[in-house]
Chain A
Amino acid sequence: MEETSLGADIDDWFIESLKIYTDLHVFELQEPTQVIEWTAEKSICVAGYSTTKSNEILQLLLPQKLFAKNNQGLCPERDFKVDHGGFSEDPVNCLKHISGTRCVVSSGAPGSKLQIWQIGEDDRDIIKLTGCIELKSSSNKRCKIASGAACILHGSELRDIQITELASGRVLYTMESESSDLVSSLQFVDANVFLVCTEGGDLCLHDVRVPSALQHSHVVEQGAAYWCMGLKSGPCLSDAASCRVARLSSSGQLVVSDLRDTRGPSCRAQLTIQHSAPCCDFMNVTWAPALDDHLAVSGFDGTVHIYDTTA
């Protein structure tokens, strides 16, 4: 009965979407994925997250149809095309592309090492495991990762956050913290500054050149179980318009803060979102790359909600 109801909902959504959107492109992947990461202008990387079998890690080429403004009907290629592929024995819960390279880094099962993959080495169509990054300490929590210039920022708790150089495996930086607060998201702001959001919703802005200057800001909300963050991409600390971070709670609370001063939020809203699943693995908030002040929230009810933070 539940499957029938879901099918009916999908059908209703499809017909409604045909009316609402100028273009509607519907694609199906062979296996479900928890990650989708741009690796080039026209390619993405996805991977499975099964804990009971091997998972494919695939680089897919976007169909021509998505790039054709007019005459989309003339594009013969309408589906994603597998360009490179490989297998991971571990589930892939986080995947990041290293900019300027053909490398991606993945993290999976709690306590497992980070895996470094090379896409298409020696011009072959294989995604090959080429190395691992040992974690500072074994943890029963999943390690979160973020990519920097030829390095990876990673950690599962505040006290085990590190920056590791990709090529040599050398640890470039270790965060000095005793806190066991769990990491929900982390991201480089620039080459020397990174931002961490804990599962409890706290933000930590850290400059590797001045470790003692750590900024810590708390979010107060009762009953919220889990928080994640989205950093407006390409921020420059001197450009007020780009210095913003959005934090999202599993209860639908959204907090937008100025990166120059994370202590007080710029704005706050309670989103009206249906919660259909207790799992927060898919919860996500991201800023629109081209639309100023717009962000997307997903992971609650199977849909993506787009908000204008100035409204």
Chain B
Amino acid sequence: MAYFTKQSALYTLLVRYKSIQEKTFLKVNIRHAPSKILFHTERESGTRGLPVVHHSKYVCDLPPDHRFPMGKFPRVLHFLIKDQVITDKQIWMPNLASEELLGCVHTKEYLDNFINGKIEEKEQRRTGFPWSEGLVRRCRYETGGTVLAVEIAWRRGLACSTAGGTHHAFPGYGAGFCLLNDLAVAAKHWTGTSTPRRKVLIVDLDVHQGDGTAFIFREDPDVFTFSVHCGNNFPVRKQQGDLDISMDVGVEDKEYLATVQTHLPGLLESFRPDLVLYDAGVDPHWRDELGKLRLTDQGLYQRDLYVIDAVVKRGIPVATVVGGGYSRDIDSLAIRHSIVHRAATQVWKQQGL
């Protein structure tokens, strides 16, 4: 612990008080030798604002009229900058998640098939995406983004990605627009293999249960999966997470927030995570095309503000991903997805991070 405290302090010193045009930052984690964790980041120096992880390659081309709102990812960043919530100096760009990194969750066979375009047509239909090299690339960058957000959160206390939350992906297959489970990869990677292992709480407030994540960590005592979802939404075949709260169709802001407030503090106190991974899906919104809950913009903001503040004020770092959201109005959807970044910015300022 003392090593990390020292390392964190040194990092902070270098970054905050020295003008560095940093191209790469190599960190060797001695506790986890012989493993090395390498993160290549490109970042402007001197920023003190909320770290936002984004990559232009979070998107790929899809067939015309495809239902997945791929265009939302760059638009999230667009609105955050346009509304002066953040500046481009706060942007961190991840690298492509390596096969080795992905292999801590996904099977070798699946990765080989996925990366090399050998996914069968039936499997492709289950995911909702036709295979392409661009698709593989964007999924790997998205996963890299969540992993980086976790690393930054550990250093800085709070970080947000403009993508992520692909929680329906299982070790051997993808499903429901999810091909790689970024939350699981980030959590697995970050908890590491040392003793004692670090603990992660995954708070998944996407309207769909994080079945893939629940399955992956079903026997892992160091990763706790907490999901609040609509029982009537996909998937019909649900997995058993550590704590699953199934909401009825049509639940509105007040009841929803009360549910989160009922469970989260107790989890933080009892499980005592070293880090929280927060999936801030916006598909509980009443205008979402697939979700069956009825949250408002204000409800989502109150939710995100509560979750992030509750975690940060306990001294626990939190990394957020945008989670699910489905609408043909891409700009409205992107603005909705940016709610978590706005709430995080508010906490960043209030907590003096």
For A74, give its contact among B126, B175, B176, B287 (CB under 8 Å).
Answer: B287
Shortest Cβ distance from residue B219 to the other chain A in the assembled complex, whole angstroms: 19
Cβ contacts A132-160/B at 8 Å (1 or 0 each): 00000000000000000000000000000
Question: Which residues of chain B in 242-291 are interfacial with respect to chain A, using CB atoms and an 8 Å cutoff?
Answer: 249-250, 286-290
Chain A interface size, under 10 / 10 to 19 / 20 to 34 / 35 or more: 20 to 34
Would you call A12 and B67 a contact (CB within 8 A)?
A: no
> Which of chain B's residues have a CB closer than 8 A to the CB of A74?
287
Would you call A11 and B237 a contact (CB within 8 A)?
A: yes
**Chain B contact residue count (CB 8 A cutoff):** 28
9 A-B contact pairs sorted by A residue (CB < 8 Å): A4-B237, A7-B235, A8-B236, A11-B236, A14-B234, A18-B67, A19-B66, A72-B289, A78-B286
Q: How far is the CA of A4 from the CA of B211 in the complex (A)?
A: 13
Tell whether A79 pairs with B250 under 8 Å between CB atoms, given A15-B126, A16-B125.
yes
Tell whether A73 pairs with B329 under 8 Å between CB atoms, given A15-B125, A19-B66.
yes
Would you call A12 and B126 a contact (CB within 8 A)?
A: yes
The yes or no answer to A123 lying at the interface (CB within 8 A) is no
Q: How far is the CA of A28 from the CA of B231 in the complex (A)?
A: 12
Residue of A nearest to B127 (CB): A15
Residue of A nearest to B130 (CB): A19
> Which of chain A's residues have a CB closer than 8 A to the CB of B238?
7
Question: Which residues of chain A in 1-54 are interfacial with respect to chain B, using CB atoms and an 8 Å cutoff?
Answer: 4, 6-8, 10-12, 14-16, 18-19, 22, 28
Shortest Cβ distance from residue A7 to the other chain B in the assembled complex, whole angstroms: 3
Would you call B237 and A8 a contact (CB within 8 A)?
A: yes
Q: How far is the CA of A4 from the CA of B237 in the complex (A)?
A: 6
The yes or no answer to B232 lying at the interface (CB within 8 A) is yes
Shortest Cβ distance from residue B293 to the other chain A in the assembled complex, whole angstroms: 11
Tell whether A76 pairs with B286 under 8 Å between CB atoms, given A4-B237, A11-B234.
yes
> Which of chain B's residues have a CB closer than 8 A to the CB of A19?
66-67, 125, 128
> Which of chain B's residues have a CB closer than 8 A to the CB of A78?
286, 292
> Which of chain A's residues have a CB closer than 8 A to the CB of B126?
12, 15
Residues of B within 8 A of A (CB): 65-67, 125-128, 175-177, 232, 234-238, 249-250, 286-290, 292, 327-329, 332
Would you call B236 and A10 a contact (CB within 8 A)?
A: yes
Prevailing SS type, chain A contact patch: helix
For A18, give its contact among B128, B236, B287, B292 (CB under 8 Å).
Answer: B128
> Which of chain B's residues have a CB closer than 8 A to the CB of A14?
234, 236
Q: How far is the CA of A73 from the CA of B176 in the complex (A)?
A: 21
> Which of chain A's residues have a CB closer than 8 A to the CB of B67?
18-19
Residue of A nearest to B250 (CB): A79
Q: How far is the CA of A295 from the CA of B292 in the complex (A)?
A: 31
Prevailing SS type, chain B contact patch: loop
Would you call B175 and A11 a contact (CB within 8 A)?
A: yes
Q: How far is the CA of A22 from the CA of B234 in the complex (A)?
A: 18
Shortest Cβ distance from residue B330 to the other chain A in the assembled complex, whole angstroms: 12
For B289, give its contact among A4, A6, A11, A73 (CB under 8 Å).
Answer: A73
Q: How far is the CA of A45 from the CA of B137 in the complex (A)?
A: 50
Q: How far is the CA of A6 from the CA of B286 in the complex (A)?
A: 28
Shortest Cβ distance from residue A165 to the other chain B in the assembled complex, whole angstroms: 43
Q: How far is the CA of A16 from the CA of B176 in the complex (A)?
A: 9
Shortest Cβ distance from residue A15 to the other chain B in the assembled complex, whole angstroms: 5
Q: How far is the CA of A18 from the CA of B65 in the complex (A)?
A: 11
Would you call B249 and A79 a contact (CB within 8 A)?
A: yes
For A11, give its contact among B65, B66, B176 (CB under 8 Å).
Answer: B176
Tell whether A7 pairs with B127 under 8 Å between CB atoms, given A19-B67, A73-B289.
no
Given contacts A7-B238, A74-B287, 15 further A-B contacts (CB under 8 A): A6-B236, A7-B236, A8-B237, A12-B125, A12-B126, A14-B234, A15-B125, A15-B175, A15-B177, A18-B67, A19-B67, A73-B289, A73-B329, A76-B286, A78-B292
Shortest Cβ distance from residue B282 to the other chain A in the assembled complex, whole angstroms: 12
Question: Which of A4, A6, A12, A28: most chain B CB closer than 10 A?
Answer: A12
Q: How far is the CA of A278 from the CA of B232 in the complex (A)?
A: 29
> Which of chain B's residues have a CB closer than 8 A to the CB of A6?
236
Q: How far is the CA of A19 from the CA of B332 in the complex (A)?
A: 21
Would you call B235 and A11 a contact (CB within 8 A)?
A: yes
Would you call B235 and A73 a contact (CB within 8 A)?
A: no
Q: How far is the CA of A76 from the CA of B287 in the complex (A)?
A: 8
Would you call B176 and A15 a contact (CB within 8 A)?
A: yes
Cβ contacts A74-99/B at 8 Å (1 or 0 each): 10101100000000000000000000
> Which of chain A's residues have a CB closer than 8 A to the CB of B250?
79
Q: How far is the CA of A106 from the CA of B319 in the complex (A)?
A: 58
> Which of chain A's residues have a CB closer than 8 A to the CB of B65?
22
> Which of chain A's residues have a CB closer than 8 A to the CB of B177?
15
Q: How far is the CA of A18 from the CA of B176 in the complex (A)?
A: 10
> Which of chain A's residues have a CB closer than 8 A to the CB of B290?
18
> Which of chain A's residues have a CB closer than 8 A to the CB of B128?
15-16, 18-19
Q: How far is the CA of A18 from the CA of B208 in the complex (A)?
A: 15
Would you call A28 and B232 a contact (CB within 8 A)?
A: yes
Q: How far is the CA of A74 from the CA of B288 in the complex (A)?
A: 10
> Which of chain A's residues have a CB closer than 8 A to the CB of B328?
73
Q: How far is the CA of A12 from the CA of B125 in the complex (A)?
A: 8
Residue of B nearest to A5 (CB): B237
Would you call B236 and A73 a contact (CB within 8 A)?
A: no
> Which of chain B's residues have a CB closer than 8 A to the CB of A72?
289
Shortest Cβ distance from residue A55 to the other chain B in the assembled complex, whole angstroms: 22
Q: How far is the CA of A16 from the CA of B130 in the complex (A)?
A: 11
> Which of chain A's residues have a CB closer than 8 A to the CB of B236?
6-8, 10-11, 14
